Structure 1
Amino acid sequence: MKIRSLNRNIIALGANSFFTDFSTEMILPLLPIFLERFLHASKSEIGLIEGTAELGVALLIALSGFYSDRLGKRKGLTLLGYGLSNLIKPLAFFAQSATMIAAIRIGDRLSKGIRVAPRDALISASTPKAISGFVFGFHKMMDGAGALAGALTAFGVLWYLGESESSFRTVFAISLIPGLISMAILIFLVTDTPFEPSKSRFVPKALPAPFYWLVLFQSLFSLVAMNYSFMLLKAESNGLALVMIPLAYALYNLTQSLFAIPIGRLADRIGKGVLLSAVYIAFGLGALAMTLGTSWAIWVGFGIYGFFAAGFNALAKAIISDSAPMEFKATAYGIYYTAVGIATFISLVLGGIIWDSYGSTLLFMIASVAAITLGMVLYFMRYRLLHTD
């Protein structure tokens, strides 16, 4: 399967994601350090901010997906979500307190809550089941490539201007440019895929059993795993120079971009459940590497984390694309993201408390053991649970 076989909508949505992630990932790898070093936030406060931001997504995303299915249209909500996000993020330039950063993060995540379910349904509407892994892998690859460009841009600015607070704020301001480009692509190059909404009300049994097993496993995993913010803070605590942290984050995004399409292609051939169990185990190994407390282990950990990120949501979205009926597809994506978002909120809040109370090693060991265990359970139960394979 080659890129040129993808239709215009898939390619345009991929380009839109590239520039949105270009903008986003100039900011995200710097925010935990900015909060800790210049705004003097604790690990618990950072975990609470990130967790609340993810909860904001969870509270809105199911509603957005349901509303999209009732409208019979996708592009309007997608455009609204991307527009708000790309205008809100650069406001970090003006932030003078952790509370202001929290407001910006929550606003950005609420915007994501508006756009994600209808966008994924828009992608799914143009995707044959036989290549769903490849298509969502392509989309994840474009995410990763944009994130790589953003992280490298942030590194370049900090390397050139130094590690001062004003340098951080300069990065936040520059992030507006790729955000505006992504909006232009969405407005002028993406076309809607209208459909006839279902006249019946949504009931849980409208979605098949494999969908609910997927939600259960992904939620359990999200409950025990930490997100990128703790990875970045761990890199700093292990002695990695501040200016090098965006470069480590760039390695994560490079790995994510390189593996996204191969994981999707392989999943289409041998089964999405097999690959999903593999990325669980990969995360566990990456978290284990981070416990070693050396700078080289940070690079290994970020590289493995990129492999994990290439498959985690992309494979889940492909499974939902294969199994959910068209008239309830955005609703299915909304339910999925809501469950994972709530689990992530709990994970981040508890993770910050564990770090402040017992140190980072225990936190990363818990994540490692739990992720590897879940990966093995999913592998041996995959045919019974995810029988879309």
Structure 2
Amino acid sequence: MKKYFGVSRNVFFLGIVSMLNDFSSEMIQAIMPIFLTATLGAPVFVVGLIEGIADALASVLKIVFGWVSDKWKIRKKFAVAGYILSVSTRPFLTLVSSFWHIFFLRSIDRIGKGMRDAPRDALISESTDFDMVGKSFGFHRMMDTFGGMMGPLLVFLLLPVFFGSYQLIFLVAFGIGALAVITFVFVEEPVHKEEKIPVVAPRMNFSFLRSNRRFSLFLFSIFIFGLGTLPIALLLLRAPSIGIDVKYVPIFYLIYHIAFLTAAFPLGKIADSFGRRRIIVLGFFAALVSYISLIFVETFFGLVISFILFGIYSAATDGVERAIAARWVDAHSLAMGQGLLNAAVGISALLAGGIGGLLWTYVSPEATFVYAATLSLVGSLLFIFLLNVRFKDAKEAV
């Protein structure tokens, strides 16, 4: 199998696809809050409502399309359809005149995400040797993050050239997103060998989780930890809350992305030899220390350290969690396993954002980070429990 930068052909080009798509989507997300509030006159709470409902929709659909992908053994077609659906909404942003139009388009965009994520992750897993799974997911997440960094940077450079026209930004984002879809011509659908004994795809119910207790406990621990995983927007608000000028807020966002980008690939590679669960524990510890530091931070430098730690947390967990999910379910449930993991992360993040926002508004910013640190500690301890428990249905070597 030919390698590109140490990963398989499919993994490499799927990384290019995600880089281009995130480049496109982050261009839009960088200006969407301002576009909603300043241009369309939406109340601030509507911004959170649109994102919350849209992300919850995507989280549920990841389970559905993960199951369907496993049942029909189709990966690439679902992934392509999902990307096409998301990208196709972007030129219509130039025509909107109400925040309800944004809600409709954003929901379609997230339906596309729900359709593509689990089949794409299963495609990565099926295109990778067993001992290279962590490296492959780490590479994919690194490319994804690089695109996410470049999107806001390009917006920053283009807005003065376009005389502040958001509509032209939307069109450029659509063009870059179209390139992501075109790149799929280089991705191949894995060949599935015919089974001597017919295998029945898992039913769309909780029997899948009951039959794999270790994976169920893994999902539960990720969900509990996720209840304390605050959205990056709340972390960024910590800067002005301690008296740092708002013009420096993008710098902290950039620091987070640089830390993530720098750590994601090597941590994924190390996870394949050192142990994926150990790397996740390392990431959980980094998040815990980050939240604790955010409770007491009072200086610019202290906030820089907090965001570096949070970037390391994201790098140590995102791709590695997906690698574990790929190895703790059988080959006929890969996409459903990825869908359940994505749903656990997405739904818990939605709840964390809501609870964190309420605590920030009605108690204090410090209370928000105390909550995050507490749930992170509980989730970490629950996950560490996995290291010392053996189940007959578990797959080892992770």
| Structure 2 SS opposite 1:141 | helix
From 349, 353, 360, the equivalent of 1:348 is: 353
From 311, 314, 318, the equivalent of 1:313 is: 318
Q: 1:54 touches 1:344 (CA, 8 Å); kept in 2?
A: no
- Taking the TM superposition and a 5 Å limit, the aligned residue runs for 1:109-124 are 109-124=110-125
**TM-aligned CA distance change 1:174 to 1:365, over 3 Å:** farther
Q: Distance in 2 between matches of 1:120 and 1:103?
A: 26
Q: Structure 1: which amino acid aligns with 2:375? A: A
| TM-score, length basis structure 2 | 0.85
From 358, 370, 376, the equivalent of 2:375 is: 370
Q: Distance in 2 between matches of 1:294 and 1:347?
A: 26
Uncovered stretches (5+) of structure 1, i.e. residues with no partner: none
Deviation at 1:149, TM superposition (A): 1.5
Deviation at 1:183, TM superposition (A): 1.0
Q: Structure 1: which amino acid aligns with 2:182? A: A
Q: Does 1:28 align with 2:29?
A: yes
Listed one character per residue, the Cα deviations across residues 280-314 of structure 1 (whole Å, up to 9, x for unaligned) are: 22122333344435544443333222212212221
Structure with the greater alpha carbon radius of gyration: 2
Q: Distance in 1 between matches of 2:93 and 2:368?
A: 29
Q: 1:32 touches 1:229 (CA, 8 Å); kept in 2?
A: no
Q: Distance in 2 between matches of 1:359 and 1:170?
A: 39
Structure 1 partner of 2:276: 272
Q: Does 1:190 align with 2:195?
A: no
**TM-aligned CA distance change 1:101 to 1:357, over 3 Å:** farther
Percent identity at matched positions? 28
Structure 2 partner of 1:227: 231
Deviation at 1:276, TM superposition (A): 0.8
From 177, 180, 198, the equivalent of 1:179 is: 177
Q: 2:201 touches 2:333 (CA, 8 Å); kept in 1?
A: no
Structure 1 partner of 2:12: 11
Structure 1 partner of 2:53: 52
Structure 1 partner of 2:253: 249
Deviation at 1:94, TM superposition (A): 4.6
**TM-aligned CA distance change 1:298 to 1:58, over 3 Å:** same
**TM-aligned CA distance change 1:231 to 1:90, over 3 Å:** farther
Deviation at 1:317, TM superposition (A): 0.7
Deviation at 1:60, TM superposition (A): 0.9
| TM-score, length basis structure 1 | 0.87
The structure carrying a bigger helix percent of its residues is 1
Uncovered stretches (5+) of structure 2, i.e. residues with no partner: none
Q: Distance in 2 between matches of 1:235 and 1:38?
A: 26
**TM-aligned CA distance change 1:278 to 1:95, over 3 Å:** farther
Structure 1 partner of 2:135: 134
- Taking the TM superposition and a 5 Å limit, the aligned residue runs for 1:70-81 are 70-81=71-82
**TM-aligned CA distance change 1:376 to 1:167, over 3 Å:** farther
Range 111-120 or range 254-263, more displaced = 254-263
Q: 1:152 touches 1:247 (CA, 8 Å); kept in 2?
A: no
- In the alignment of these two chains, the number of paired residues is 384
